[in-house]
Structure 1
Amino acid sequence: MAFTLHPRLEADTTWLGDLPLCRVLLSKEDIGPWLILVPKIEGITEIHHLSDDDQVRFIKESSSLATVLEQKSHPDKINIGALGNMVSQLHIHHIARFQDDVAWPGPIWGNTKGIIREDAQQDDTASQWKAHLSSIDGFVEA
């Protein structure tokens, strides 16, 4: 079965590229940066549903993404979470948080203004993150 991205993730993000296991997405919400990893395996809803090898790869890809996010954004904190209450397809959020962001110190969910970047700004932000992510072994730009 071919991998398909959940329609909500498709609508709310820009595809940056792929790592060996995961698709890398950039949220369109104007906060963060907010990056999302989605394993390219159909029907997976939980991390423990991945094979042992894929669990290890998932954590390594998440750690590599978080490292680049930290190096390029210099956040006060990185929030990493896999909630899946609205989108059951397994995905993990990586959000750079700053003490002056709209939701600090609370969680992002339900605490932002929901402002979406203009298309040109999203394209520029996506281009910047594609360049940043090129330092991760195995990243292939979309």
Structure 2
Amino acid sequence: MKEFALDARLEQDSLLLLRLSLCELRLSKDARWPWLILVPQRADVSEITDLKPLDQVMLTFEIETASAALKKVTNPTKINIGALGNIVRQLHVHIVARFEGDPGWPGPVWGHGVAEAYDAEKQEELMMRIREALSS
């Protein structure tokens, strides 16, 4: 049986926050939006429907859990959730906090402008606050 391996682009563009029961929870390195990424730790999975039924349920639970933590920490106008996979085929779910007036509002975050790196201190603070929100 093949082992889970994170796609190189996901590894390059995000940081590991923690491992949940099913997914790696990662923070996008693009500081323009508070942006989490869930990656099910399963080999050769590109669609939600490729997951076993119990894993589908767990993914839904982890999306809700991560979304609630992001919402608690950032107080956004809207939470966007999407699993596109047109470029990176490995199944991953984006959870993005959106705010009126943010870059690209009200359109999608994909293909808009150039990614901006986090200030190291702000990045660490956001990661810590998300971990705390997940544990409460």
Aligned to 1:14: 15
1:15-43 deviation line (CA, Å, top 9, x unaligned): 00011011000000012210010000011
CA offset digits 1:73-94 (Å, max 9, x no partner):
1111100000111110000000
Using structure 2 for the length normalisation, give the TM-score.
0.92
Name the structure 2 match of 1:75. 76
User: How many angstroms apart in 2 are the aligned matches of 1:120 and 1:80?
Assistant: 26
TM-superposed CA distance for 1:119, in Å, is 3.6
Q: Which residue of 1 aligns with 2:133?
A: 132
Gaps of 5+ in 2: none
| Aligned-pair Cα RMSD in Å | 1.4
Give the distance between the partners of 1:98 and 1:21, measured in 2 at CA: 29
Structure-2 separation of matches of 1:127 and 1:102: 24
Identical amino acids, percent of aligned pairs: 42
Structure 2 CA distance for partners of 1:97 and 1:57, relative to 1, 3 Å: same
TM-score by length of 1: 0.88
Contact 2:69 2:130 in 1 (8 A): no
AA aligned to 1:11 is Q
Mapping for residues 20-99 of structure 1, pairs under 5 Å:
20-99=21-100
**What SS does structure 2 have at the residue aligned with 1:26?**
strand
In 1, Cα distance between equivalents of 2:132 and 2:71: 15
Aligned residues: 135
Which amino acid counterpart does residue 6 of structure 1 have in structure 2? Answer: D
**Cα shift at 1:120:** 4.0
Runs of 5+ in structure 1 lacking a partner?
A: 136-142
Q: For 1:12, give the aligned amino acid.
A: D
